[in-house]
Amino acid sequence: MAAPVGKELEKLRAEAQGEVRDVREKLATLDDAAIDVILTGARSHYAWQDKPVPEALLHRLYDITASGPTSMNTCPARFIFVTSPEGKARLAKSLKAKNIDKMMDAPVTAIIAHDLDFWTELPFLFPHEDRRPHFEGKPEHAAITAFRNGTLQGGYFMLAARALGLDVGAMSGFSNEIVDQEFFAGTSLRSNFLCNLGYADETALFQKLPRFPFDKACSFL
């Protein structure tokens, strides 16, 4: 993809700046109720209603997630939505015993993965400068960049899901090695974490656990 230059670039930049200003004018900040939905009042869920998640909603979820920023617009995250009994059975091989029912009962389990070869797509994603030499022949640097930015996109994914009315339950109690062998053998994809999606059965919840206060977790320099 050819990068815009000259007057075309100036026009595109002006449009982008105007779009940001328009968004801020429409809604300068979320109210407390909206923040409750995505973070302060939200919970990780362990039990699920028998209610399907429409595929169109998953498309919308991805579109919102993809809008989140990543370093050099690398966009290394890949999302595999496991919904079929066959897919769930394959995924169950990787899970610790206590997590199997949580996954099997969820309408959707997303494998949040990242592509170690993300940098080969940079001519499309970052067209105004060839950044491939930053990663070519540097597998460790590419792996760190993919993991960091893929994890960031996983966070966007969960917030976007909650904003769309879905509940989420992230899981790390599984074997990344088994998932990679089962789903990504012979590819450049690697798993990061799992995230159950659907409409929660709140009866499985227990009390919310404590969080550190500001002075414990934050400082000024």
Could you tell me the residue range of the domain that residue 155 belongs to? Answer: 39-203
Q: What is the CATH number for 83?
A: 3.40.109.10
pLDDT digits (tens, 9 = 90+) for 118-138: 999 999 999 989 999 999 999
Per the domain annotation, does 25 fall within a domain? no
Per the domain annotation, does 7 fall within a domain? no
Q: Which of 170, 188, 52 is nearest to 119 (CA)?
A: 188
Q: How far apart are CA 37 and CA 31, in angstroms?
A: 10
Per the domain annotation, does 27 fall within a domain? no
Per the domain annotation, does 214 fall within a domain? no
**Are the C-beta atoms of 157 and 78 separated by less than 8 Å?**
no
Per the domain annotation, does 20 fall within a domain? no
Per the domain annotation, does 164 fall within a domain? yes
Per the domain annotation, does 188 fall within a domain? yes
pTM above 0.85, yes or no: yes
Give me the pLDDT at residue 20, please. 87
Instruction: Give whole-number Cα distances, 119 to 14, 63, 153, in Å.
Output: 28, 21, 16
Per the domain annotation, does 127 fall within a domain? yes
Beta-carbon contacts of 128 under 8 Å, excluding residues fewer than 6 positions away, are: 3, 4
Q: How far apart are CA 202 and CA 49, in angstroms?
A: 9
Number of domains in the chain: 1
Longest dimension (CA), the chain: 60
Q: Is the pLDDT of residue 5 over 80?
A: yes
